[in-house]
A and B are shown apart, each in its own frame.
Chain A
Amino acid sequence: MGLSAYLSLAAVVFCLGLFGTITRRNTIGILLGIELMLNAVNINFVAFSRFHGTEIGMVFALFAICITVAEVALGLAIVILLFRTRQTAAADHVDWLKG
Chain B
Amino acid sequence: MTPDVAAFWGLAAVLVGAGLAVVIGKNLFHSVLWLALALIATAGIFLTLDAEFIAAVQVLLYAGGVITVVVFAIVVTERLVGERLSHTSRRIGTGAAIAAAVLALLLRALAHAAVELPRPPLAGDLTQQIGSTLLTRFALPFELLAALLLVGMLAASYFARPEE
Contact = CB atoms under 8 A, between A and B. Distances in A.
B88 A25 contact: yes
A19 B49 contact: no
Nearest to B98: A22
Interface residues of A, number: 70
Contact of A74 (B8, B85, B152): B152
A78 B133 CA distance: 35
Q: Give the dominant DSSP class at A's interface.
A: helix
A9 B44 CA distance: 13
A76 B69 contact: yes
B73 A39 contact: no
Given A33-B23, A72-B70, A51 B87 contact: no
A33 to B, nearest CB: 6
A70 B66 CA distance: 9
Nearest to B89: A23
Contacts of B106: 11, 14-15
Interface string B99-142: 11011001100100001110110010010011001100110010
Contacts of B4: 1
A74 B22 CA distance: 21
A46 B54 contact: yes
A31 B141 CA distance: 25
B103 A15 contact: yes
A89 to B, nearest CB: 6
A80 B81 contact: no
Interface string B43-71: 00110111101100110011001100110
A84 B54 contact: no
B94 A16 contact: no
A31 B67 CA distance: 11
Interface string A82-97: 0110010110100000
A15 B149 contact: no
Contacts of B49: 6, 46-47, 50
Contact of A8 (B74, B110, B157): B110
B117 A16 contact: no
5 contacts: A1-B5, A15-B99, A52-B120, A58-B53, A71-B152
Interface of A: 1-9, 11-20, 22-26, 28-29, 31-33, 35-36, 39, 42-43, 46-47, 49-53, 55-56, 58-59, 61-63, 65-74, 76-81, 83-84, 87, 89-90, 92
